[in-house]
Amino acid sequence: MLVFVAKRLGSLVVVLFFLTLLVFTLGKVADSDPVRTYVGVNASAEAVTAAREELGLDDPVPVQFASFLGGAVHGDFGISLASKRPIADELSSRLPATLELAGWALMLTVVIGVSLASLYSRPGRVGAFLRFVFFSAASAPSFLIAMLSVLVFYKWLGGVLPAAGRSSYGPYEDGTGFYVIDGILHASPTYTWDAIQHLLLPALAASVGAGVALARVLADGISSSLSSPWARTARALGENEGTIVRRHALRNASSPALSLLAVQAGFMVSSLVVVEQVFSWNGLGSYLSGAIGVGDFPAIAAVCLILGAVYVVLNTLVDVALAAVDPRVRLS
């Protein structure tokens, strides 16, 4: 097990290194000129030279990469070309916003997946109809689900749930940036409940697709487990069907479901970017699309690196968890 963990950590470092290299290379070949974006089209020649110096563009490319990599390791992503402020400062309040939303979306995914799994393998017409509904939900782009949920819960039902922003009250000065946790820490049920209400619709929009996919894998796993010899043995021993599903089939189906969850987490990152935009959620996603709009590549690179690192680390954790659950994984 220790060898397995060491190997996975080694490849984690390699992947992160190449990820940084790739993003850095893209910055070099990017079609917009960083200096011009920084000082403006009409700047004087001296201003351009000064900006080149300030942005470190006069150094040899390997030196530039070394300082980019060193900075990224320490959470320093350079200066935003658009706002001319350190990118790390701008992201510090946005990262918790995205992570909070992602955490809730992941929880909702599991809830949706587990609760729909038993409906998925239902026989007959009802089952076929349900599968049709789930299939359409999984095919809908996350921004469509976001829009429809805003129409239903905000416009037509007269604002039962808020459709924009993270809170009606604004952040606590000394808070963690995770609003629900902040509310609990300050013992304020109104603040906490308000933050949860703001989270519900965006988290739902980001998790429907992943939840349905999870339900499908769980249902597949359970149904193949139930027709296996050991399930027959359990039946022969007089266990009832519910116990067999809960005790045995669900556990066996959980390992493919876990690896699917890691894949879905990658997709979820992209749907979060989209969903944040619909709900004016002040996270990394809306920062990213803002940066895309003005061609601020260092800012784009920073967001891509952070989200990419989260994804790669998450995948490593899932692999280790799978190996811990299933000895076959670490021995192969």
Partner 1 sequence: MPFSRRRTLERVEAAPTARRDSAWSALGPGERTSLIAMAAIVLVAIIGPTLMPYSPIIPSGSQLLPPLSSGHVLGTDVLGMDMATRLVAGMQRSLLAAVLVTAVSAAIGTFIGVVAGFRGGWLDSALMRFTDLFLAFPAMIIAMAIAAAIGQSLGSAMIGIIVVWWPLYARLVRGEVRRVVALPHVQAARVSGVRGWRLLWRHVVPAVMPTVVVTASLDIGAVVMTLAALSFIGLGTPAPAPELGRMASDGMKYFLNAWWVAVLPSVTIGLVAFVFNYAGDALRVVLRRTGV
DSSP string, 285-297: HHHHHHHHHHT-H
SS (HEC) of 145-211: HHHHHHHHHHHHCCCCCCCCCCCCCCCCCCCCCCHHHHHHHCCCHHHHHHHHHHHHHHHHHHHHHHH
User: Is 174 an interacting residue with respect to partner 1 (CB under 8 A)?
Assistant: no
Q: Evaluate whether 51 touches 38 at the Cβ level (below 8 Å).
A: yes
Among 92, 118, 136, 228, binds partner 1 (CB under 8 A): 136
Give helix then strand counts, H and E, for the chain: 16, 0
CB of 144 to partner 1, least distance (A): 4
User: Is 31 an interacting residue with respect to partner 1 (CB under 8 A)?
Assistant: yes
CB of 114 to partner 1, least distance (A): 23
CB of 17 to partner 1, least distance (A): 10
User: Is 35 an interacting residue with respect to partner 1 (CB under 8 A)?
Assistant: no
User: Is 144 an interacting residue with respect to partner 1 (CB under 8 A)?
Assistant: yes
Please give the span between the terminal C-alpha atoms of the chain, in angstroms, as a whole number. 12
User: Is 143 an interacting residue with respect to partner 1 (CB under 8 A)?
Assistant: yes
**Site map 286..315 versus partner 1, x via CB under 8 A:** --xx--xx---x--xx--x--xx--xx--x
Q: Evaluate whether 192 touches 180 at the Cβ level (below 8 Å).
A: yes
- Where in 149-168 is the site for partner 1 (CB under 8 A)? 150-151, 155
Rounded Cα–Cα distance for residues 280 and 260 (Å): 29
Rounded Cα–Cα distance for residues 26 and 238 (Å): 62
Among 15, 48, 119, 181, binds partner 1 (CB under 8 A): 15
Q: Which stretch binds partner 1 (CB under 8 A): 42-50, 81-89, 174-182, 274-282?
A: 274-282
Site size toward partner 1, by CB under 8 A:
52
Q: Which residue has the tokens 């039962």?
A: 160
Among 274, 318, 320, 329, binds partner 1 (CB under 8 A): 274
Q: Which residue has the tokens 């997946």?
A: 113
User: Is 18 an interacting residue with respect to partner 1 (CB under 8 A)?
Assistant: yes
State how far the alpha carbon of 237 is from the alpha carbons of 233, 241, 244, in Å. 6, 11, 11
Q: How far is CA 164 from the centre of its chain?
A: 19
CB of 86 to partner 1, least distance (A): 20
Q: Please state the length of the chain.
A: 332
Nearer of residues 135 and 230 to partner 1, judged by Cβ = 135
- Where in 93-132 is the site for partner 1 (CB under 8 A)? 128, 132
CB of 216 to partner 1, least distance (A): 11
Footprint on this chain of partner 1 (rule: CB under 8 A): 11, 14-15, 18-19, 22-23, 26-27, 29-32, 128, 132, 135-136, 138-144, 147-148, 150-151, 155, 266-267, 269-271, 273-274, 277-278, 285, 288-289, 292-293, 297, 300-301, 304, 307-308, 311-312, 315
